[in-house]
Structure formats: structure tokens, C-alpha cells
Structure 1
């Protein structure tokens, strides 16, 4: 064991519960009139919504009583009379909309339909008791648009949809636009008037711009439509389009990254500030008063910060701060008084824990692309603080899902656990990751298992050459696409990784595309153009070649797989297939199945149980530390389908 790795023993183990259990509080918000605070917190072990008067936050009560699945998101109705949330069943992603009346405490389901997924189509700054919602209860492929009264629950059909993938409305809750995929794999945008959509689109994108161009919303008076737009350029810029003349005005751009977000005036809808996220998020204010507030907040915080909630008069904000090396905290910001009042620390049990900094790094791929990445080192390994260990350490390559998503800067529970156990942790924005311009994104088209995988191997080679990683002690781990990358890593490059941890990763791209959720069908051409079209001979060959299932017999290193039985995106059969193939080839594999989960872990007990198995699996493979399993499996629903003998302590824990 290297000297750098031995240093980790000076630091205490951070308990899994503190990293993956319920937060003490999360997602703090303030009512539109500023009189109430709300947040998520456990009630009898399950996350629920809590409410307290702003002037007496200690007088808090739970206003929901979920006992099974945690509530993971909530919002205030525009009129402040109710709080809402969406919830599915067992991870099936058929989300329904629920309302809690603030005055009476009554809770009702506003969309009481079976096998239905609700979408919010539009909300308003002036119509405070209604929203537009999309419901696919008539046809699972298409969401019909309804006007929903949030107080009475009355639903009125606005538009029966048999063609479009999405819609946009203005502040009057009038449909203004619909989106549909075109033959090129891009998007066509159609205007709505007189109860129908135009035959010809008023804007279109080619496939190369489809994931980097989209409308961002109208001003309240409907005169301006904002766009994040990469057409005719590489990175997505922020434009304002005059809805009467079609004239476009450039507001903001960045050479390295797409414009990643914006803040709008709540009364006018005009852009007040915009964000760029390359390695870190940087906000630029256009509005002078917004600039003064953001500049002041920047003097108060280390690390990242942002705004979670704003009152209707915009004088009070709920602000979060992620110091990265300390737990996330939230504050109540009085803009007039320039004061910050502590609201809560999300995970106070981590205060004083040996949390590690996240180091943004740039890695160059073999064909010259810059891969924005993030590195965390074990405590005590970086004696001179230069972002490199004194001696190489075991490493986990942690691959993000999507793949059309990205890793970012900020507190990461998985990074912290793995670093605390003695590993360097490297997360790479490989080609196909979003946020870095369309050239970077499109460089991944039809490159699953090819250049996308090469980027990950190049990152491993970089870490070894930089003296970060021990060459024969590198694991690969990830969820969704990251799970696929894990399977591909062990199957296509069996000598690079010492072991792999796959969470809900597809093993057979042909069956993956054949079982996508029905509401993704209007966008299926995106998958065909970016992965391979199984309806063509060439596309099918490409998908088969990129499927780890067909090379399962080449996997020679230990593999741990986790799967949710109700996953609508990556069906259980994706894990069953490769586990069966490995068994047929006589290759050891450990398979953990969760009968009450979907695409990942919603229940903390299941998350804690899985990471307990994973850290003990990794300890056996590449030699880090691990908190013993103990009784961690008992509160979870984990079923060990295969391979209880291949993880240290697992057989004893089951007994």
C-alpha cells in the first residue's frame, strides 16, 4: 500500500447514513407573500413537506404523510393557497400531481388517473389559481393539454394532441407553440392560433442543434420569446426574439460553454441575469439591482451559490450555498436590509467531517478534445495541496448518466464516500456531455462504445501518467449511461479496470431502444440518429457491436450490478440478460435487485444498502477501506439474486 493511501487511516470513516440517508432539511422555499417557509424533511423516516411561519420557523408541522416513497420535490401555487408535489409509484415514473391546502391541510390528487405521467405545460404571473398541464391518460405516447384549476381541481381540455412532443404557453395560459421532431432528427416549432397549429414551422433546427437549441419562454406581455440557440454557431447563446417581427437580438454568449440558465423579472419576464457553467457556474447580471444583489452574495459565500425561491415582490430570496468542502446550507436573504438569516444546513452531521475539495481539471483526449472533469483526492494524500497525491492511490472512474447530461462542480456524496475510503475519484465530461457546445455533443453521435469510451480510457491514462492512480487499481462505476460505460469498460477493455459497479445500465442497445417509454416515442429519431437505427442493417450492426451483452464472455474482472425492477427506461431485462450471459460463461457476478425502485434509488434505505455493498465490493477489489455491512440490508428491499460470495461480508450480512 502506498504512503499516500496509508495516510487515509488518520481520518475517521464518514458513516454511509450521513452521506446517503435523509437530509435533515432540503429544498427550502418561501411562499409568494413571504409569510410561510416550506421544506422537505423526514417524518417517521420518510421525506415529507413541512411548513412553518416565516416569523417563527420553529413552529413547524408536516403537511404530508407519505410513508413509502419520499417526496423529492415541491412547489408553491402562484396564489400561495396551496403547496404541490408530484409522485410516482415504485419508480415507474408515472408522476401524478398532488395539492395540499394551506388553510385546511386537506390533500388531494389533482390528476387521479392510472398509468399517467403529468407535465406542467405553463404557469402564469397574473393568473394565479390555474396552470396548464399535459396528461397522457388518453394515449400513452402523447400529452393532451388541459387547463387545471389548482383550487377546485377542475380540468378543462385545451388541446387534444396526436402529433407533438411538447408545448409552450404565454402568461395568459394561451398555447403559443408546439414542438415536433422532424425527419432530420431536429425539431420543428409550430405557432398556435385559432385553436390549431400552423402547417409550416416558424422555426426549425437540424439534428446537430436539437439538444443545444430550445425556446426559454415569453415575457409576460408576450412580445419577446427568449431562446437558447446554437444555430449558426457552436455554443448555445441567449437571444431575444421579437414575436411580431421575428427579429432576434443577441443577449449573451460564451466561447467555451453554453448559456446554462437565466433569471427573469417576475413581473415582466425580462431577463435579469444569465449563467455560464464551464468548470464552475458564473452568473452575469444585466439588471443593475440584480447585479448589486448577486455581487453582495458573492462576497458572503465560498463555493457555489444560487436562488431556490423568491417572494412575489422579489424582496426576499431563499439562497443556497455549496462550499463543496462543507455541507450545503440555506439562508433567508433580505435584499432591502442586505442580511442573511441562516435557514438550515442540509446535512449537519457532516459538519467537521473530513470532506474533500473537488478539483476541476481539463483532460485532452487522443483526438484533441478538451474534457472538462472533476477530481477528488483522499484525505491526507495531497500533502502540498497541488491537486495531486504524494504517491499514486487506487481510483474510481465515476461516469455520469445520460449520456446527454454532465458532471458539475459541487458537493457530491459519492465522491465524498469514495475519497473517504481511500480512493481518488475522477468524473469526466466525455464527448456527448451537454453544456460545452454542439461540436462537443455531436462528436458522440454513433460513438457508443467507440470514441465516447476512448475518452474514458484517455482519462484513466491521464490519471496514471499524472501520478494520481495506481494502474492496476482503477475501478469504473456509474448509473444509467454510466452503468453502460461500466459494462463496456469491462467487456471492451478488460485489462484496463480492476472491477466495475453498474447501476441500472443497459447491456443490449437493441432491446434498450425497443422498450423505451411510450411518451419518448415522439423523440425516437434522436436515439436512432445518435446511437444507431435498429431498423437499418448498418444501424443494427452498430448497436450490436456497441452492446456489452454480446461480449460478456470477455469480462474477466469482478462486476457488481444494481437494478430497479420498475425501471421504465432501462428495463430489468437489461441486467438479467448480462447476468445470465455471465453465468453461462462461468464468470462471477453479483446482482442486487430492488423490487420497489425504478431508474435509480429513491428510498434512502435502499441507497445506503447499495453503497454498503459497493464499498465492500471495491475494498475487496482495489484495497480501500469500508464500513462493515452489519445489519444495513435489513431496512432495505435489496434482493441478492446472484453472487453473495463475491463481496466481503455479504454472505454473513444476509445470514
Structure 2
């Protein structure tokens, strides 16, 4: 089934002097370790033959890959990787199960190399952890993974930008030896962004980004390419996989002025004839994902997400199995995510808004289900807060779909509120468990998660409504959410905070500059403060989407666009900030450079306004190491409690306390380069 593509320690806490009766009704404070520490086990995958289960678990203080026999207890597993610097998060089995491969960067710089492990070395009694082999072994290079052909399990097709940082050349890589063979040199004039192979491993299609922001799907021919499908700069087309006959390609697209929500079509690359397959039966949201069987080469299900997930089954046998399992978990989301090649064994997860998840093994032959693990089994789910879907009108009347998490045990009246804008901004919030919202709700805050205009999933018109609206109507969508909750009597207008990362960090800075009277506390995590410097420093491998950034945000190469971006930059209005601000940054961030945080910190410092600054030297765009996360959130919850009159956990481990001191910056030392 292939998918498209987005601590039961109850600590004592210092509580600020708010309504004591209300405080006594809140659930006990849950240790932040349970939310942000390493999961006990996560990321399980079945080996292709189904005999083994791999997973991620801490080894020598860092998340690494482990392997066990499928029918063994997890206690008998052996580590097969030993990275001690940075957690491993992305890995997969080779098609024949001989190797486990994973990608890893250095300190969050997003220059990923590809590594291979022979897990059999670790499964032999008495053997140490096998040494990972760096298959690409390049510095300053970002590896893309394109295809693992079924018929040639020792081969993987990858992209390398070692020749030109902006464009990836296509290589065939032999896993067993590391031998690389150049298949196609991707010149600046080609602008190839991806490659598609058929079920037999033949290279059939490519995708291209044009200089005007439009995109093409190309048929690969001996002497070049033939354009077979095109979309303009505000449309999308995602070629996914060939049909069972290897003749037509499934594409998710929203092409056409009369088409708002994305739909699934079949395209014949030879005749260019299109066939409509499916769109949302309720005509409310985009097609979210497509699940496919590699055994039958057929669609198993399609998924749509609005307030909750909706599944539409195409395979009756899978549907029957799903419904049988669903009887045991009627209120949860069930997701099949890993199988053996025969697809008779499946791993599936069960989760909800108050359930961080559990993983089970399902035998489709015997219909037996066996519990495997829970990533965070010590979180007291009875104390977690429900997530509800809400909507409200923005400044121009546009309806904004959002989610609200309200703390347990108290009346939902006059609560301190924290708004958490998502990153992207071209992404969205889904219903389900979230560590940060639950952490904040446990501290007594109402949590608003707005899907402001520009968010994906709600149709082309909703995305396009965010064009050139950073800090303007996009920000109104957030501000009017605060107003809505105040008018509903849920939020205390004097105790409103905002906290977000990436675009959410920008929205945080925009909130305290453009609506300075709205917020009493703000935490910006890797948030850009100057849109001109942001666009002038995007990673070179984003060259293919540079024009789309200019069209959707503002063009810094034109006087009008540059002026607009200056106007929409929080840094321009830093003199208006009167909200206590905490800034968080990863020193190696290639997307939002350290200078973005330095600039706003210096601007506030130089006008004598207090500002807190957390800077991790071993992180990039967001924190991957749990010790950094826990140090940052320990400081953030104390900061929010101080200014919003909330509660917080005063305790932390010596390791976290030490790390917090190391990454807390004396703002008087910050200089601009």
C-alpha cells in the first residue's frame, strides 16, 4: 500500500497565583519528557519477507535502528546502527531485504547522505553493531531518492546535486558496492525536478519546473523529452504511479479554471488522453492520499481530510479487514503503513486526538491481530484534551477551518489562550494527537490551531487567497480566530499568547508587530523576520520553486515586490513590539537562516526592549535532538506562564538544565554580519 504525498512521571510544578479553585481541577502536570523525550519505540517496518521487524529506539543516547525477528519480543532486538550525534528518522529496507538504508545530515544542514547497513551482521550471535556504509560520501550535497525497482533489488535511483547545487543529476546506485552510474545530467536549461519509473523499473516520465513557475510532465524518449501535461504556476499535478498494465499514469491534479478541488485522473503518456477517476464525493476538500497495492498494482483506497479523515475503499478484501479491525477501535484512526512483499502481513497504527498511537501486527490469512508497541505508553491518556473542529469568519468573511483543544477539568470560560499557527505556510493541521497542543492544554491553556488561507487541502481558491497576503489577510485569519474565541467567552483577552515554527514563527512575529495589542506573550521558532533576506537566502536546491515563492509571496527583484516584502516584514515594524518575545533558532538552518532571528533580536535589544534568545549550534530548521527540544520547551513554558499567568513544570533533569544554559544566548553578544 503506497501513499502519496505532508514518562508516566507526574512532576510537581510551581504554579503562579491564578484562580486556585480552577488550578485544583486541572489534571496533574504531565512531565514534558513524556511529550518531547525520545519515544520508547517508533517507526516500525516489516522486512520484505516478513521475517523481521525493524524499528527506531534509543541506543547510546540517540535514536537508532534496531531489528528483531517478527515473532520475537522487542526485548530480544539488536541495534544495527550506532549514530551518536543525531537521531535517525528516515530509513527503509532494500527490496530483497538484504540491506537497511537511511539518510542522515550533519547538525540539521539538510545535506543528506545515503547509508546502508547489512542487518544480518547484527543478528549473528556475538556480533557488534555493524558499521554503516556511506553510499554517497559527499559533503554539502543533498541526496534525493527516486526509486527502488522491484525487479532489481540491488539498485536504487538517486539524485545528486554535487555538480550543480540547484539541480540534481540522475544516478543508478548499486547498493552492494556503492557504484554510481550517471543516467542523466540535469542541466540548468532542463530544470528536471523528478523522475518516474514503471512497474518494470523502466524510466518513463520526468517532471519539469519552468522559469515562469509553470510545470510540465514529460515523456522520456531516447533523444529528449515530449511534453504530455502542463499546469500553470498556481496549479498542481502530482504524477503518482502507473496502472497495472504499465500504460497509463495516475495523476492528482487541480488543473483548470473550473476545478477547485484536486482530483485523480489517468493519463495515457502516448496519446495524452485523460480519464477522470475520482474527486471528493462531498466536494469539500482535496484528494489527500492514495493507497496502492504493489502486489495487485491496483488502488486500495483514497483518503480525504476535512474535520476528520474519510476513506473510500476500492479493494473489497482490504475493506472487510479494515472494518473487522475497526470494531475494536471505533473512535480511532487506523492506518496500514508497512507490509511484506506478499502483503499478507501488515503493521497498522491506531491513534486519535487523545491517543499518541499504538502499533499492531495483522495477519490477513489468519485474521489475527497482535499488539506490538506504543511509542509513548506512559502518557496518561485520561488527562489529555479533546480536539474539536471549529470555523469562524475572517476580516473579509472568508470561513477559516480550524481546530481547538481545550484543557480538561475546568470550565471553558475566560481561559488563557495560545494560538499555534502551522508552518509552511502551504500545509495544514489535521485532526489527531499533537504533542505541543496537548502539552499546552495540560498547562491549562486553550489552544487554537488555525488553517488560515494559503493552507493546503481546502481547494485551489483557498490556497490562492493567501497569495501576497503574508502579514495581511493571512494574519487576519489568525487574529479573527482570537477575536472569535474572546467573543465566545472562551479566551481571556488579557492572556493571549502566540507560538509557532517556520511560517508559524513568521506569523508569531507578525502578530506582535501588526497587532501589538492582541498578544501578551510570543514564542517564535525558526521564524523569518525579513522577507527580502529570506527569499534571497533560500537553499540553492529550491531554485525550481523560486518563481512560485515570488508569485505567492512577492517578488524581491522588482521595486513593487521589494517594497511589499519590506512592508510585510516584522523586522520593519520592530519598534511597535510591546509583547514579551522569545526567539528560538537552529544555527545550521538552511531554510530560515540564523540571520533572520539575529536581526529581530538585535532590533529589540538596540531599542532597549527585553528579548529571550535560544540558539542551538547542532540544529537546523526545527530541533531534532530531544535534549534541545526539552530545554527549549522548559524555557518556553516558564516564559508563557510568567506572562499569561499560567502554570508550568519547574523541574528538569541535570542534562536538560545544562543544555538550556548552553543554548541560551546573551543578547548583548549578538552581532549582524
Q: TM-score, normalised by structure 2?
A: 0.91
Q: 1:262 to 1:43 in 2, by over 3 A?
A: same
Q: CA deviation at 1:503?
A: 0.2
Q: Equivalent residue for 1:253?
A: 279
Point out the more displaced range, 397-406 or 278-287. 278-287
* Structure 2 residue 73 is matched with structure 1 residue 57: yes
Whole-Å Cα distance in 1 between the matches of residues 563 and 241 of structure 2? 41
Q: CA deviation at 1:468?
A: 1.4
Q: CA deviation at 1:410?
A: 1.0
Q: Equivalent residue for 1:437?
A: 459
Q: Equivalent residue for 1:310?
A: 339
SS in 2 for 1:575: helix
Q: Equivalent residue for 1:214?
A: 238
Q: CA deviation at 1:6?
A: 1.3
Q: 2:55 aligns with which of 26, 39, 55?
A: 39
Whole-Å Cα distance in 1 between the matches of residues 377 and 215 of structure 2? 45
Corresponding pairs, count: 633
* Structure 1 portions without partners, runs of 5+: 383-388, 645-655
SS in 2 for 1:313: coil
8 Å CA contact 2:501, 2:524 repeated in 1 = yes
8 Å CA contact 1:170, 1:220 repeated in 2 = no
Q: 1:8 to 1:531 in 2, by over 3 A?
A: farther
Q: Equivalent residue for 1:385?
A: none
Whole-Å Cα distance in 1 between the matches of residues 356 and 174 of structure 2? 39
SS in 2 for 1:188: strand
8 Å CA contact 1:506, 1:512 repeated in 2 = yes
8 Å CA contact 2:217, 2:228 repeated in 1 = yes
The 5 A counterparts of 1:512-591 are 512-591=534-613
SS in 2 for 1:333: strand
Q: CA deviation at 1:629?
A: 5.0
Q: Equivalent residue for 1:151?
A: 176
* Structure 2 residue 663 is matched with structure 1 residue 639: yes
Whole-Å Cα distance in 2 between the matches of residues 402 and 570 of structure 1? 12
Whole-Å Cα distance in 2 between the matches of residues 171 and 261 of structure 1? 20
Q: Equivalent residue for 1:348?
A: 377
Q: CA deviation at 1:415?
A: 0.6
Q: Equivalent residue for 2:22?
A: 6
Task: Tell me the C-alpha RMSD between the 2 structures.
Answer: 1.8
* Structure 2 residue 263 is matched with structure 1 residue 237: yes
Q: Equivalent residue for 1:651?
A: none
Q: Equivalent residue for 2:113?
A: 96
8 Å CA contact 1:165, 1:523 repeated in 2 = no
* Structure 2 portions without partners, runs of 5+: 1-16, 123-129, 669-673
Q: Equivalent residue for 1:401?
A: 423
SS in 1 for 2:163: strand
Q: 2:351 aligns with which of 319, 322, 332?
A: 322
1:397-450 Cα offsets, whole Å, 9 max, x none, are 001000011111111110111001010001000000011111000100010011
Whole-Å Cα distance in 1 between the matches of residues 153 and 311 of structure 2? 29
* Structure 2 residue 203 is matched with structure 1 residue 175: yes
Q: CA deviation at 1:643?
A: 6.3
Q: 1:304 to 1:643 in 2, by over 3 A?
A: farther
Whole-Å Cα distance in 2 between the matches of residues 216 and 83 of structure 1? 24
8 Å CA contact 1:258, 1:436 repeated in 2 = yes
Point out the more displaced range, 319-328 or 456-465. 319-328
Q: 1:86 aligns with which of 96, 103, 128?
A: 103
Whole-Å Cα distance in 1 between the matches of residues 25 and 666 of structure 2? 32
1:617-642 Cα offsets, whole Å, 9 max, x none, are 00001011100154433146842224
Q: Equivalent residue for 1:29?
A: 45
Q: CA deviation at 1:78?
A: 1.0
Point out the more displaced range, 630-639 or 138-147. 630-639
Q: 1:321 to 1:638 in 2, by over 3 A?
A: farther
Q: TM-score, normalised by structure 1?
A: 0.94
Q: Equivalent residue for 1:652?
A: none
Q: CA deviation at 1:615?
A: 0.1
Q: CA deviation at 1:195?
A: 4.9
Whole-Å Cα distance in 2 between the matches of residues 11 and 71 of structure 1? 34
Q: CA deviation at 1:358?
A: 1.1
SS in 1 for 2:543: helix
8 Å CA contact 1:28, 1:308 repeated in 2 = no
Q: 1:76 aligns with which of 74, 93, 101?
A: 93
Whole-Å Cα distance in 2 between the matches of residues 637 and 128 of structure 1? 48
SS in 2 for 1:90: coil
The 5 A counterparts of 1:222-301 are 222-232=246-256, 233-254=259-280, 255-301=283-329
Whole-Å Cα distance in 1 between the matches of residues 631 and 244 of structure 2? 48
8 Å CA contact 2:505, 2:526 repeated in 1 = yes
8 Å CA contact 1:605, 1:635 repeated in 2 = yes
* Structure 2 residue 533 is matched with structure 1 residue 508: no
Q: Equivalent residue for 2:166?
A: 141
Q: Equivalent residue for 2:505?
A: 483
SS in 1 for 2:478: helix
Q: 1:352 to 1:235 in 2, by over 3 A?
A: closer
8 Å CA contact 1:398, 1:425 repeated in 2 = yes
8 Å CA contact 2:101, 2:115 repeated in 1 = yes
Q: 1:616 to 1:123 in 2, by over 3 A?
A: same
1:294-349 Cα offsets, whole Å, 9 max, x none, are 22232222321212201111111100111321331100011122221000011011
Q: CA deviation at 1:66?
A: 1.1
Q: Equivalent residue for 2:213?
A: 185
SS in 2 for 1:416: helix
The 5 A counterparts of 1:382-393 are 382=411, 389=412, 391-393=413-415
SS in 2 for 1:410: coil
